[in-house]
Amino acid sequence: MDRWAGKVAVVTGASAGIGAAIVKQLVSYGMVVAGLARRVEKIKELEQGLEEYSGKLHAVKCDVSKEESVVAAFAWVQENLGPASVLVNNAGITKESSLIDGNLEDWRAVFDVNVFGLCLCTKEAVRTMREGGGEGVIINVNSFAGERVPFIPGFSVYPASKRAITALAQTLRHELTGTQIRVTGISPGLVATELMVSYSTYSEEALASFPTLDPEDVATAAIYILSCPPHVVVQDIVLRPLGESW
């Protein structure tokens, strides 16, 4: 990880859960991290707890579902911090709904963040990586639910939005042939985060009865990816909690 010290990383959805855990790890290894989220105050709170590390966290307000917000956020990063070397596409939402009687507004909101938001951030990051002229890594935080859909009432279009990320990553690898930019994905099983608690099926108490991963487990996988030498592409990592059976 020494070669990443002082380099710029952009992490979306950085205010809580997996995003916050990844931010902490990157800062601890000396990276300059732009944490993007709508709840920018949460990132500022996180920033205060990272002062002991050699890296630095900067809170940047951004709604990844809005193109103008993404463009403005990445312009700020480049102007104030420099070109990004690492992008972690972590921002993701879910809307408890169904395909039978759900509504287009909820479905579209999920795809606007999970798919189109990822595309917008990737586009801006690749541009800055190319301008920087060096090594770059794009990590997409995916979900095992995109590969094997569990029976969770209200999951609706969420697994489909995650399946799309797998295809987008492969398309991007083709487009980046000849560059030093690597694209990888992390697909965890059930992670104990506020996203899952948002489902009526899962209270915090109910979630505690299931085998789960911690956000820090996903962050450790991200560090492994970055620790690999520049000629190694970790295409995908699947993480599952011991005992998970779906």
| Secondary structure of 90-154 in HEC code, one letter for each residue | CCCCCCCCCCCCCCHHHHHHHHHHHHHHHHHHHHHHHHHHHHHCCCEEEEEECCHHHCCCCCCCC
The answer, yes or no, to whether residue 143 has pLDDT greater than 80, is: yes
Mean pLDDT of 83-98: 95
Q: How many CB atoms lie within 10 A of CB 198?
A: 14
Residue 220: pLDDT band (50, 70, 90) is very high
Question: How far is 127 from 84, CA to CA, in rounded Å?
Answer: 9
Task: Give alpha helix (H) positions in 133-214.
Answer: 158-175, 194-197, 204-208
The answer, yes or no, to whether residue 108 has pLDDT greater than 80, is: yes
**What is the topology classification, in CATH, of domain 2-239?**
Rossmann fold (3.40.50)
Contacts of 100 by beta carbon, 8 Å cutoff, 6+ apart: none
Task: Write out the catalytic residue numbers.
Answer: 158
**Worst-scoring range by mean pLDDT, 9-13, 64-68, 199-203, 241-245?**
199-203
pLDDT of the residue at 199: 61
What single-letter DSSP state applies at residue 81? T
The answer, yes or no, to whether residue 245 has pLDDT greater than 90, is: no
Residue type for position 85: S
Q: How many CB atoms lie within 10 A of CB 93?
A: 19
Strand order in the sheet with 56-61: 56-61, 32-37, 8-12, 84-89, 136-141, 181-188, 236-239
Residue type for position 221: A
Question: How far is 92 from 188, CA to CA, in rounded Å?
Answer: 13
Residue 183: pLDDT band (50, 70, 90) is very high
